[in-house]
Each structure stands twice: as structure tokens, then as C-alpha cells.
Structure 1
Amino acid sequence: MIDIKELAKQTKDIRVLYVEDEESVRSQTMMILGMFFEHIDAAFDGEDGWQKYQNNEYDIVFTDISMPRMDGLELTRRIKEIDIYQRVVIISAYNTADYLFKAIELGVEGFILKPIELDKIVLNIKKLSDAINAMKMAQYYQENLEQEIAKKTQIIQKQAVTNKLTGLQNRFALNTYLEELEEEKILIVINIDNFDSINTIYGYENGNKVIQFVATLLSQNMLDNTQLFYLGGDEFAIVSDVISDEKLQIYLTDLQAKIASATLKLEDGNELKGTVTIAVASGKDDVLKKAHVALKEAKNEGKNRIKFYNDNLTIEKLQRQIHEFSPIIREAIDLGDVIPYFQPIVDNRTKTIHKFECLARIVSEDKVYSPFHFINIAQMIGVLPEITKIMIDKSFQAFAKNDYSFSINITEIDLNDNYLCDYFTTKLAEYNINPSRVILEVLEGISTTGVEHSLIQLKQLQKMGFSIAIDDFGAQNSNFERVNSMSVDFIKIDGSFIKNMAEDEKSYSIVKTITTFSKSIGAEVIAEFVHNEAVQKKVEELGIEYSQGYYFAQPQREIVDTF
């Protein structure tokens, strides 16, 4: 098994260009890549990626295939014309022979299918980093040998650590400096806000002028005993001796204000003003990585921010959670410690238990973890379908002993893997379960995204006899027309509305609207998060058919048919 922490150390100096036109996919993949690479430039399509490639140096280019303006194969072709040895990895949902042959002909180093599985991308990163580091090591020794015997040693050394555009020390110089630190320093990373937009609107030539302009402003506003570096793209760094928090805050606030008030006049008469986001880390170990974590956090919050690194940043927490829970999840899958808990669903007309929802839990070292702790991580590391299969098998086994109906949660990833129809067919026969007893709960996002492949599979499952329920309806951008076209059997109203409907008129109105809509399309309604008598009375008042929540029973490891 590849040690992710060790791999992250090996990849810290590798520069990456990631090209993807879908923002949601780009954000999720950037988070994964950010676990390994400290500097990643993201491009929103092939043309943007091409422009960035011409203005920066990258060790690896990850690119989607299908994109506007220029697709990933054309981008790869252009890149290979410039540098045949450039490492390019295709990340795409297309896996047809035609695309594979074209990618092979272009000489790409890898082909990763969406949705991305962490194991597969880690294996690709390991292979690439090994090759890149070996090449860099060879280059390093060759350059040192040449420097020792060449008369122009000083010139070569300066070129290696100096950026031509700004005349400032570059990323390599900063890394070298940080590696040799013997005492704590403050590292300040300055990122130009909206720089991609500047390049798009005003052109890359003017974008370079913005870089030079900011470089000059920073050079003119330095503290004593500091060094300034240009890291490429839209990023600068300042290394400073340790000073008081108060003095540092005053300096950074003043620096931001001076940059925001400065005006760059372009040759065409346009004037540019802008802001910067600043991240700060201190110490002598991993300070650049920590500063980049703080920078990502700041950018998630907005623009023109100052963010100091600490261990409680959201991104840092997520990375720790992935490192902590990945082995727990994998061990639970291997040992069969993914188990269903059962929560009854009560028929409000008969006041009896009508069905149960099967909810996933992981048991590890006498601790029971709910999906809140592991589902997102399981999705990131590519094992969510394995959990779903275990839940199907164990739930079928439990309900083979009685006549209750029961519901199982499935995800869009399960649908994309295209295994459900065959797997359900096998399990129905194995446990002699009638599919009319089984309700498949899907999030409403499947309906709103309009992924036809997923919707076709849901129709096939309905034809097999399964019922379909939309879970957490109202939590996302609810698409009533799309849900109507799906012919669902049940709609489960999001619990955030149900639990507040007794005292909040807006929540009550939303629940009433969803209930009316559900009845109009012939779908029965299940109210989740019914936690007290007042809420249950409101639920019954609206004629909602079913209730589920702690008012009746918590999820339990055994099927308990009384409340």
C-alpha cells in the first residue's frame, strides 16, 4: 500500500496544471490533488489551459477531454509539439476505444476514469513522481557538474533561482531557502485576486504587466530582514524574521490597502485596480504547505482576506479526517464491520410500523460511526459502492426473516458503476425477497442534475418491481418537473423543514407545498426527523402518510417492531 504522507513529501516540489471545465468536478479534484501538490494551477477549459501552459512551467498536466473552445486531446497535441517529454494525464468519463487510441497516439502518461477513485489517482501520481524526481535528480547532478566546470557558474545559478518576468527569486529559490532553515521564520503568501479574469478580459500580456506591477509594489513595501519571491502564476511569497502578531497584522493590513488603492494604467487607456488575498504561516517545517492550506481556506471564504494558518482550518481538518478514517473504512469493509441499523417508519393512518429504513454504520474498536463520519471520505477514496453492496446483502439477509418492507440508500456513484440491476437480481434470488418490499432511496440531486444514465437505471429498477423514494426533498434546488417525470413512489421531505414546522410558519408552508405536490403526482410522503408530539400532530394535520424519527424510535441494530 502506498504511504500517502510519504508520497506527499515526494510530490511537494512538483508543479501541476489541472484543466477541467465543470466547476464542481474541478473543485473536488483540486481538493484531492491538493493533498499531494503544493502548487496547482487550475484552468477552466482547454484554451485557458493552453495559455497557462505557455506562461508557466509544469511537471504534470491533468486534463479532461470534452471541453469548450479546445478539448483535452487538442491541448495535449499542442503541448507535445512544444515538449514531447511533457507528462500529460487524461481524466475523463470517456473510455471508448477511439479516445483511448487517440490518447495513446499522443503519448499521454495515464488515463484516469471519472468518477475519480483515490487509489487509482494515487498510483498514477506515485509513478509520475518517481519518474519526475529521478529526472530532476539527474538534472540536478548534471547542472552541478556543469556549474563546477563552467566559467559561467554565477550566471547559471542566477537563472536557476530568478524569474525572468519579475527579476525576483523564484519557487526553486524559496524551496532551497526553506530547506536550509535553522530557525523559525514567517512565510507570507500573496495571491492576486481574480487574476484568471484579468488574463481573460485584458489578455496575457497585460496579465504579465499586472504581475510586474504587484512585484514592484511589494518590493517597495518590505519589512526589514525580509526576502521576496515570485512563485509563478498569481502568487508571491515573503519570508520574514519572526515579529509580534500586532506588528505583522498592521503590516499586512497596510500592504493590502496600498495594493488595493494602486492603479495600473494600460497602453490602451484602461486602468486596473485589484486586491490580494494573504496567507501566513510560521515555523521552520512545512511552512509553505501550511501557508497554502491557509490560502485555500481564505479563498473559500472570499477575496481580499488575510488568513493565518492553524490546525483547525477546514481543509486541514478534512485532510486529517481522510488520513484518519481511510484505514478505518477499508478495515470495516474487509472485516464485515459495515452493518445496517434499522429505524421504523410509521403509517400515520394505522399507527403501526409499516417499513424500516436501513442505515449504514461502521463498527470499529467498540465505536459506532454514523455516515456523517465516513460517507464523504468513502466517496473520495472510491469505496462507496462496496459499502452499498454490503448494506444490500446484510439488509436482505435481515428482512428475509419477516414480511416488512424496507428501504436502502443508493447514490449516483452506485448508478454510474452500473452494477445495481445485476447485483439486486442475484440478491433477490439468494434471499427470496420480493422486490415490491424494497424501496430504493436516492437524493433529489440525481433528478436535478438530469444524468440520463442514472435515470434510465432507476426506470429499469422500477420495472423490476422496486419502489423509488426521493430522499431529503427540498434540501437542494428542487426540480418539481423532473421529479414528476421520474414517477417516484415516495417523497421524503428534508428533516430540516420537518423538525421546525411546529414553531416555524415558513417550514410549515414548505412542507405543505411539497405534500400537495407529492399527492398531485401520486407519490406518498414520508416525514423525517419527527422528534416530538407537536411535530407529529402537524404531520398528521397535513395528511402525510408516514412518519420517521426519534419520537418513535432511534435507529437500532436489531429490527424492533414496537414503539
Structure 2
Amino acid sequence: MEVNSSDDKYLLPAETKPVILCVDDELILLRGLKEQLKLAFGQEYRVEAADSAELALNIIEEYNRAGVPIPVVISDQVMPGIRGDEFLIRTQKTNPDTRKIMLTGQASADSVGNALNNAKLYRYLSKPWDSRDLILTVQEAIRSFEADRSLFELNRKLEDALLYNRDSGLPNLEYLRRVLEDRELKGEESVLALVRIESTSLTTKHFGVSLYKDLLRKFLDSMSSMLGKIADIFHVYEDEVAILSKVSEERFLPHLIAFKILLRSDYLTTEGISFRINTTIATANGCKDLYYKARLALVRASQDKSQDFAGGILEYSEKMDEQDLYQININLGKRLNNAIHSGNIVPYFQGIVDNSTGKVEKFECLARIVEDGKVYAPASFIYLAKSTGLLRMITPILFEKVLKTFSRSEYCFSVNLSETELESGSFPKWVASRLAHHKIHPARVTFEILETTSLRENPDHFKVISGLKEIGCSIAIDDFGVEHSNFSRLLEIQPDFIKIDGKFIQSLGKNRTAFILTSAITELAHRIGAKVVAEFVGTREEFEAVRSLGIEFSQGYYIMEPKPEIPSSTIKIID
């Protein structure tokens, strides 16, 4: 049986099983120890033996270099040269996870304490040892080592999941943030470019996720081949890539521009189909808030496609901070949230005049936010209400306040209906119950469907519209003439009112085409039994032109500006 001697040159064995290392200067004891351990653990572990601490350290160094784990080291204390406790402390520095066992009959309390405190000694066994106790101790040490190793591997996998994109394998946004934070702490300046793939949604929609991911891999490979030597590449979002320069801005930007030019002229092919990758690229330089600045520039570049940026790449400037759309939206979102919970969502009322009598016969109810004496129109918050899902809360609040107002009058009124209400199958029943509670006849109520509302994607929307008509409410199509206007919509909804978009009304006196189209829409509405409302009537001339076409109702600032209360007396426009 072979025992390594300090006189021998140690050679690493070909096999790479995990290693149990025994160290003792008494060769007879060392051979016996090695034999017992081989019998117990030889199938899964390689048992090494060294007759000196110096040789043992060489063995550990070789196995460490080869990446072979050493779960357990068993060492005698009293040895010439380096003592056992000193050897274990040095082992702790290179192999902190290795379980260290001291096996001796002559160790002092100081030596054991030194090993416990500085080498994290796992166990102390006295000579002569009990074979069963020795085997059990080594088994426990191995089990402890493997448990920690499994935990380390699990943590490593979790760290990889946190720091790397699952599909591309590239470092992700969290990794980028850590790198940027480290550079910022060191005061290192860098150039960061953000690249957004604009065709992601269309490619995925028409060809599927699998093909898009394959296309994305080829795109990232192309980027890596051109920029990988001068920059680190991060896959921060599915459609967004960050490129952090490793060289000066003067060297980095020409390569980035060359990559942009290549994208414009070249195609990537997958599944036998060639794709041109449309991108938006923005950059920022410095060491503080680098990602935020580059992101701000990227948003601005995406919003303003009309500008011809230098090299097709927009660079961040401090002026962009003043118009930070995200921060503006955050502030507006907070205001909207506070308005909803504090009851500051209120209705404003705009009169609608009967063109035959000249009297205001009904009102459209419009949502407003009132805060610190300021009034905010829907254009400033409705888009945020949709994106946050708060729109679902606005309609019930507004509708309840509207019903309280009109329960004290005989006027008819209209309320806008969004996709949020159309998605609720129980909305008609809720409307019926609230109308009954306030003793308002359903015939007084008109729900206006915005022409920008898409109905085709969800046929159940029509069930809600039918349900509202069944309880006796009227339906109007708002802003008719734009967006989703078509004859099939009239067939599906069968509206009671058609409100012609203000673009046509405001052009009646100066654009013959607008006059003809308005006349045609009016005739069409009358033929299907719907009445017509002209929106944005702002002058006497527009009002007279509307009346001349046989349009029944007019609405606009010429008639009445939106007000927080309905008038106490009749409003009459003409005698």
C-alpha cells in the first residue's frame, strides 16, 4: 500500500474523485488510517496520505489547481516542521469549506484551541482511535461538507438566475446595475448605449416566440462579434440590450455607429425568412445615474422618430431631465391615486343644445380632477388611469356623483363608456340598480362609446351594450369619423346617437370635403334611425352650418363651457 513521502515528488492521479487527506509522520499509523478510510469510502472518494504537513500542503495545492474538492483533512498534531494546528490553519486559508479533524494523543489544550478558533476545527479524536467512531466522524464531516456544497451550488444557480438572462445567457439588468454602481463608487466614467429592438412585438405576433428568440440570438451574436472586444453586452429586457464601453468614447462611438449602419443594410435569416432588425439607439456618458440617463434618451428617441440623430443615435442631454416623461407620469399617477381615494374625481357638465329649439336639453358629464384649486382635464390622466387599472375605479365614483346631481333635475345626460366597463358583464345590472336607487328613468341616460374603443377583439363587449339598451338607456358613438369608424360598427351597435368628430365641424366653413363628409354622415345616421350631435361647435358660423345640415344637436364652447354644476335656469342659444 502506497503512502506519499516527503521525499517523493507528488504527482496528481488521473482519477478526480473527491479527496480525503490523512497527515501523520508515523508511517505505521498513517498506513492503518489510510486502509480503514479506503475500505469505508474508497468507492466514492480517493484517500491520500502524507507523512508531513509540507507534503500535505503540496497535495492540497495540486488538487485545488485541478478543481478537485477535498471534503476532509485528518491531521496529527505533533509532527516535525509544521505542527498540526499550524497546518490546519494554513489549510483553512485555501480551503475554508474543508472539514478539519485533529487526530492525536499528545495535543495540548492550547493547540486544540488554536485549531478551533483559527482553523474551524470540525472534530478532535484521541489516539488510539476507535475505528467505528472514526468512520462515523468522517461520514458526518463528508455529509456536512456536501450539504454546504449543495447549498453553495443552489445559491450559485439563484445568483445566475438573478444576474443572467435565461434565454440568451448574457448578464441582465441587475448585473448591469451592480457594475454601474461599482464604477460610480470608483468614480470611473463610461459610455452606456441602450438598443431597443422595435420589431419585437410584430415578429412575435406573426411568427411566434420561438422564432423571435432564434432571431434575437443571431442579433446578439452579430452585436458581440462587432462590439464584444470594446464593450460588455447586457440583455436587460426581451427587446432591449445595453452596451457598456470598455474603451474611450472616441473609440466606442464609431463602432456603435458602424453597427447601426450594418443593421440598416443587412438582414438576419432564420427558418428561411430574412428579417431586417429595426432598432432605436441612445447613449449617455459619465459615471453617475448612467442607466437612467441612457433610458431617458432612449425614450425620447423612440417618441421622436422624425429627428435625424447623428449616426442614427441620440445622446443624452441635461435638458431631457426637465421633460422626464416617466417622472411626470409618476407624479400624475400619485395625483390620480390621491384624487380617487380622497373623492376629488368630480363631474363637469357641458350642455348639448337642441338645434330646433335653441335650448340646452341635455348635458355630457366629463371627469375632472380638482386639486388645490386647479382643475385637470381627462387628457392629463385618463391614459394613466388605463395603464394602472385605476380607470375601473373612476367610473363608479363619477357615475354616482352624476346620479345625485340629476336626481334633482329633469335633464337628460350622457356618460362616457370605456373598455373597462364593457369588459364587465354585470355592468348593465349595476347601472339599473343605481338608477332605481336614485329614481332616475333609464331613458334619460345615454352612454357614449369612444370611437377609439376597439370592440372587435372582444365580442362580449356587444353584450354589455345590448344589456344597457335592454334596460332602457341610449347608446351614442362618440368622435364618429376617426379611428375605428366603419359601417359594420353601426350595424353591430345600432346607436341612438352619432356624435360627429370636431375635426369635421371645425372645418365646415373652409373645407368643402369636410362639409360633404359631415352631410353624408348626417344622412347615413338619419337613414339608420340615429340622431346626430355636432361636437366642438365653437362659433356662431359653425352653429348655423350645423343647423343647415339638419343635425339635431350641437355641443361646444359656443354653447357652453364645461362647468362643475348644471345651470339652475334654462339656457337658450337662439330665440
With the shorter chain as reference, the TM-score category is 0.5 to 0.7
Partners of 2:232 and 2:246 within 8 A in 1: no
Q: Quick one: which of 388, 399, 410 aligns to 1:392?
A: 399
Partner of 2:529: helix, strand, or coil? Answer: coil
Counterparts of 1:447 and 1:428 in 2: how far apart (Å)?
27
Aligned CA distance change for structure 1 residues 313 and 528 (closer, same or farther; 3 Å) = farther
Q: Count matched residues.
A: 408
**Mean alpha-carbon deviation: is it higher for 297-306 or for 281-290?**
297-306
**Equivalent residue for 1:542?**
549
Q: Which amino acid aligns with 2:467?
A: Q
Counterparts of 2:292 and 2:215 in 1: how far apart (Å)?
30
Alignment partner of 1:370 is 2:381: no
Counterparts of 2:454 and 2:212 in 1: how far apart (Å)?
39
- How far off is 1:180 after superposition? 0.9
Alignment partner of 1:187 is 2:195: no
**Mean alpha-carbon deviation: is it higher for 532-541 or for 280-289?**
280-289
Aligned CA distance change for structure 1 residues 249 and 467 (closer, same or farther; 3 Å) = same
Q: Which amino acid aligns with 2:220?
A: I
Partners of 2:367 and 2:377 within 8 A in 1: yes
Counterparts of 2:432 and 2:329 in 1: how far apart (Å)?
34
Partners of 1:311 and 1:317 within 8 A in 2: no
Cα deviation, 1:376-435, whole Å, max 9, x if unaligned, reads 212222222322112222112112222111111121201213343233223222221111
- How far off is 1:555 after superposition? 0.7
Aligned CA distance change for structure 1 residues 559 and 506 (closer, same or farther; 3 Å) = same
Alignment of 1:239-278 (within 5 A): 239=245, 243=249, 252-257=256-261, 260=264, 277-278=280-281
Q: Quick one: which of 528, 537, 541 aligns to 2:535?
A: 528
- How far off is 1:355 after superposition? 0.9
Alignment partner of 1:237 is 2:235: no
Partner of 2:520: helix, strand, or coil? Answer: helix
**Equivalent residue for 1:346?**
353
Q: Which amino acid aligns with 1:189?
A: L
Partners of 2:447 and 2:474 within 8 A in 1: yes
Q: Which amino acid aligns with 2:226?
A: L
Partner of 1:417: helix, strand, or coil? Answer: coil
Q: Quick one: which of 177, 191, 197 aligns to 2:179?
A: 177
Counterparts of 2:373 and 2:196 in 1: how far apart (Å)?
46
Counterparts of 1:446 and 1:263 in 2: how far apart (Å)?
37
Partners of 1:298 and 1:305 within 8 A in 2: no
- How far off is 1:492 after superposition? 0.7
Q: TM-score, normalised by structure 1?
A: 0.62
- How far off is 1:496 after superposition? 2.0
Q: Quick one: which of 355, 365, 370 aligns to 1:358?
A: 365
Alignment of 1:10-409 (within 5 A): 142=152, 174-181=176-183, 182-190=187-195, 208-219=217-228, 222=230, 227-231=231-235, 235-239=241-245, 243=249, 252-257=256-261, 260=264, 277-295=280-298, 297-299=300-302, 305-309=312-316, 317-409=324-416
Q: Which amino acid aligns with 2:221?
A: Q
Q: TM-score, normalised by structure 2?
A: 0.60
**Equivalent residue for 1:62?**
none
Q: Quick one: which of 412, 419, 430 aligns to 1:412?
A: 419
Q: Which amino acid aligns with 1:217?
A: M
**Equivalent residue for 1:478?**
485
Name structure 1 gaps, 5 residues minimum: 1-137, 147-156
Partners of 2:163 and 2:175 within 8 A in 1: yes
- How far off is 1:177 after superposition? 2.4
Counterparts of 2:370 and 2:191 in 1: how far apart (Å)?
43
Counterparts of 2:561 and 2:356 in 1: how far apart (Å)?
21
**Mean alpha-carbon deviation: is it higher for 397-406 or for 291-300?**
291-300
**Mean alpha-carbon deviation: is it higher for 496-505 or for 171-180?**
171-180
**Mean alpha-carbon deviation: is it higher for 392-401 or for 411-420?**
411-420
**Mean alpha-carbon deviation: is it higher for 230-239 or for 400-409?**
230-239
Partners of 1:446 and 1:454 within 8 A in 2: no
Q: Quick one: which of 489, 498, 505 aligns to 1:498?
A: 505
Name structure 2 gaps, 5 residues minimum: 1-147
- How far off is 1:228 after superposition? 3.1
Partner of 2:423: helix, strand, or coil? Answer: helix
**Bigger Rg, structure 1 or 2:** 2
**Mean alpha-carbon deviation: is it higher for 234-243 or for 371-380?**
234-243
Partner of 2:533: helix, strand, or coil? Answer: strand
Counterparts of 2:439 and 2:273 in 1: how far apart (Å)?
74
Partners of 2:350 and 2:555 within 8 A in 1: yes
- How far off is 1:370 after superposition? 1.0
Alignment partner of 1:426 is 2:426: no
Counterparts of 2:169 and 2:399 in 1: how far apart (Å)?
62
**Mean alpha-carbon deviation: is it higher for 195-204 or for 290-299?**
195-204
Counterparts of 1:330 and 1:435 in 2: how far apart (Å)?
31
- How far off is 1:254 after superposition? 4.3
Q: Which amino acid aligns with 1:466?
A: C
RMSD: 4.3
Q: How much identity, in percent, do the aligned residues show?
A: 32
Partners of 1:444 and 1:476 within 8 A in 2: yes
Aligned CA distance change for structure 1 residues 315 and 387 (closer, same or farther; 3 Å) = farther
Aligned CA distance change for structure 1 residues 408 and 179 (closer, same or farther; 3 Å) = same
Partner of 1:558: helix, strand, or coil? Answer: coil
Partners of 1:259 and 1:275 within 8 A in 2: yes
Aligned CA distance change for structure 1 residues 328 and 237 (closer, same or farther; 3 Å) = same
Counterparts of 2:150 and 2:302 in 1: how far apart (Å)?
35
